Amino acid sequence: MNIVSLLRPEAVKSVSTVSSKKMLLHALGDLSANVHDLDHETIVRALQERETLGPTGVGHGVALPHARIAGLNEVKAVFIRLEKPIDFNAVDRQPVDLFFCLLAPENAGVEHLKALALVARTMRDASICAKLRANNEPETLHAIIAETQRVNQAA
């Protein structure tokens, strides 16, 4: 499994109009619906339910919202970079501007956990996050994320 297989270029977006957690979850739902042909309301509901279990804001301005979705046959991802960070109830209580969202089949089990671990390792790298924050073009954001995969494979 690699990030490039999870995150297609069209699944990356920079957004300036989101100012709340609710709006962000809807933006993730919109992007997932458009790119992966999923039902917007199903995605938003699943992400909201997951957020009630505990924060997916992992700190340092990063959140990893994720949910299991009935009918999916593989793990899929979307990425949103906000121009202005929002309160997302992160564990360090800092606002969040980088959202790497994973959607997994209901019975994904190990595959979901592997994807989450891969994304968490990537987004834990401060230099990657700095590059993502310095750019707002979706193509560039995807290239930065894809490059981390190539660097990690070479190491």
- For position 83, what pLDDT does the model report? 95
CATH of domain 3-154: 3.40.930.10
- For position 149, what pLDDT does the model report? 63
- For position 109, what pLDDT does the model report? 77
Q: How far is CA 151 from CA 6, 94, 114, in A?
A: 17, 29, 18
- For position 108, what pLDDT does the model report? 80
**Per-residue pLDDT reduced to its tens digit, 82-126:** 999 999 999 999 999 999 999 999 988 788 889 999 999 999 999
* Positions of the chain with pLDDT lower than 50, given as ranges: 152-155
- For position 155, what pLDDT does the model report? 44
82-103 residues labelled b (16+ CB within 10 A) or e (exposed): beeebebebeeeeebbbbbbbb
What is the C-alpha separation between 61 and 41, in angstroms, rounded?
26
What residues are annotated to the active site? 66
- For position 69, what pLDDT does the model report? 93
